[in-house]
Chains A and B, each alone.
Chain A
Amino acid sequence: DAMVIQNPRYQVTQFGKPVTLSCSQTLNHNVMYWYQQKSSQAPKLLFHYYDKDFNNEADTPDNFQSRRPNTSFCFLDIRSPGLGDAAMYLCATSRGAGSTDTQYFGPGTRLTVL
């Protein structure tokens, strides 16, 4: 049974055209994370929510925004995608934000920017 679901699995957008990626979870976890993974690189944390509290990484570009309307859903909005934003976007959830709270990842959305 899927626990962290990401839609769509593949997304194609045009340069500068806003795009939204979706993540949902059935685990009722408090924390939701968004990571960006470029080809052959490690995932890089963009931001996360602890309940409704939003925490942005210092080096996340302003072009990236996020919304969490309820516990189950979290969205990643890219306002004006550039060619450099083509990547796999991974959503993860965890019960808490401590060192022992395991993160569970979704299958990812692969974004292509034309």
Chain B
Amino acid sequence: GNSVTQMEGPVTLSEEAFLTINCTYTATGYPSLFWYVQYPGEGLQLLLKATKADDKGSNKGFEATYRKETTSFHLEKGSVQVSDSAVYFCALQTDSWGKLQFGAGTQVVVTP
């Protein structure tokens, strides 16, 4: 079956530090890959996505590249801000009714 594995948190960083959150997946077929962000008490917001191999998704300084050979979609940001503190979910979506399969989520805490 399909699954997503992402690094456990919490990840604690100082402002302006480099952030990487690892995400790997197992899927049949050709899934699309997503990163969603959830701020405390809020719903999920789409951060970025990639729909095929070697695509790079980017938004708000975050980037992730769809690597089919390593089945990975790692999230990176060069310089984090306190406002980036949130829980980040990696997810894959297949053609099976567009069902999203989420990873467990990684909490990121950025300190001033």
A binds B: yes
Which chain A residues have a beta carbon within 8 Å of chain B's beta carbons?
A: 6, 31, 40-43, 45, 48, 50, 55, 88, 90, 92, 94, 96-108, 110
CB < 8 Å: which of B31, B42, B44 contacts A43? B44
Q: Is B95 an interface residue (CB 8 A)?
A: yes
* B100 adjacent to A45 (CB under 8 Å): yes
B interface majority secondary structure: loop
Q: Kindly state the separation between the CA atoms of A95 and B99 in the bound complex, as whole angstroms.
A: 13
CB < 8 Å: which of B42, B97, B99, B105 contacts A42? B105
* B104 adjacent to A98 (CB under 8 Å): no
How many B residues touch A, CB cutoff 8 Å?
26
Q: Kindly state the separation between the CA atoms of A105 and B43 in the bound complex, as whole angstroms.
A: 6
Cβ of A94: which chain B residues have Cβ within 8 Å of it? 98
Give the 10 A-B residue pairs with the shortest CB-CB distance, closest first: A42-B102, A97-B98, A108-B43, A105-B44, A107-B43, A105-B43, A99-B32, A100-B51, A99-B95, A97-B97
Listed by A's residue number, 22 A-B pairs whose Cβ atoms lie within 8 Å are: A31-B98, A42-B103, A42-B104, A90-B43, A90-B44, A92-B44, A94-B98, A96-B98, A97-B97, A99-B29, A99-B30, A99-B93, A99-B95, A99-B98, A100-B51, A101-B93, A104-B46, A105-B36, A105-B45, A105-B46, A107-B43, A108-B43
